[in-house]
Amino acid sequence: MSREKEKVAGLLLAAGASTRMGQPKQLLRVEEETLLDRILGEVLGSDLDLTILVLGHQAQEIKQRLRTDLHHPKLKIIENKNYLDGISTSIITGLSEVEDVFDHVMIILADMPLMNSSLINLLLHEYLASQLQLGAIKLIGRRSHPVVIGRQFYDELYQLKGDVGARDLFLKHAHQVCLVEPEQDYDDVDIDTIEEYLEFKDSLDHGSETSGSSEPQ
């Protein structure tokens, strides 16, 4: 039986304090937009039925500086006031907003600037077709993000504590995991430090030079 008509919500986690960065990485400039606007645009452009953007640290400032349409019909912004207690609190806060209506949630990290709607859609549709209850992107033999989780495991998500995501859930129920390899090259780089940010910007600059792009950086 096809699950393609079942609703899937994206939980875009952007609540962290960016302690290793020393400034809110959500607001770092990537070409002509912020890091958060960049990934939010890709998520909203995907086939996910709803996007829950979970903010925390400096939530109001970040919300005010977003250039994304805050009235987008597929967007809901919420605040995790317990963000200092780790990523598990953002997952739980987001899940509590959608569990009654959505049978699956896709957890997406807001510090992965090369995430795109095509990758999200690939995972979404391969996962739904698999009839399994867990899904993830697979890169070079390892599991990566984003990940998607079915209602069967909502209770276990609610048991998460501290700065812990769903990793143990995927290890415990490995037989229930649909692993999806990207159809094109995908770099799951994430941005945690100023050095990583500068290296990523440099890679974009060199890419533009190689392609002959005249877009401003």
| Per-residue pLDDT, 210 | 38
- Distance between CA atoms of 89 and 160, rounded to whole angstroms? 8
Q: Which amino acid makes up residue 168?
A: D
The rounded Cα 188 to chain-centroid distance in angstroms is: 11
Domain count, the chain: 1
Structural domain includes residue 196: yes
Is residue 52 helix, strand or coil? strand
Task: Print pLDDT tens along the chain (217 aa).
Answer: 678 889 999 999 999 988 788 788 999 888 889 999 999 999 999 999 999 999 999 999 999 999 999 999 999 999 999 999 999 999 999 999 999 999 999 999 999 999 999 999 999 999 999 999 999 999 988 999 999 999 999 999 999 999 999 999 999 999 999 999 998 888 898 898 999 888 888 887 765 443 333 332 2
| Per-residue pLDDT, 211 | 38
| Per-residue pLDDT, 206 | 63
Looking at residue 196, which CATH number applies to its domain?
3.90.550.10
| Per-residue pLDDT, 215 | 34
Q: Which amino acid makes up residue 201?
A: K
- Distance between CA atoms of 36 and 178, rounded to whole angstroms? 27
| Per-residue pLDDT, 171 | 96
Say what angle helices 35-44 and 117-130 make with each other, to 10 degrees. Answer: 40
In the 3-class helix/strand/coil scheme, how is 53-102 assigned residue by residue?
EEEECEHHHHHHHCCCCCCCCCEEEEECCCHHHCHHHHHHHHHHHHCCCC
Structural domain includes residue 165: yes
Structural domain includes residue 78: yes
Structural domain includes residue 215: no
CB neighbour class for 27 (10 Å; exposed up to 12, middle 13-18, buried from 19)? middle
- Distance between CA atoms of 149 and 209, rounded to whole angstroms? 40
Structural domain includes residue 217: no
CB of 124 within 8 A of CB of 178? no
Structural domain includes residue 2: no
Q: Which amino acid makes up residue 89?
A: T
Structural domain includes residue 137: yes
| Per-residue pLDDT, 207 | 58
CB neighbour class for 212 (10 Å; exposed up to 12, middle 13-18, buried from 19)? exposed
> Which residues constitute the domain of residue 36?
8-210
**What pTM was computed for the model?**
0.91
Structural domain includes residue 3: no
Question: Dihedral of the CA atoms 129, 134, 140, 146 (nearest 10)?
Answer: 100
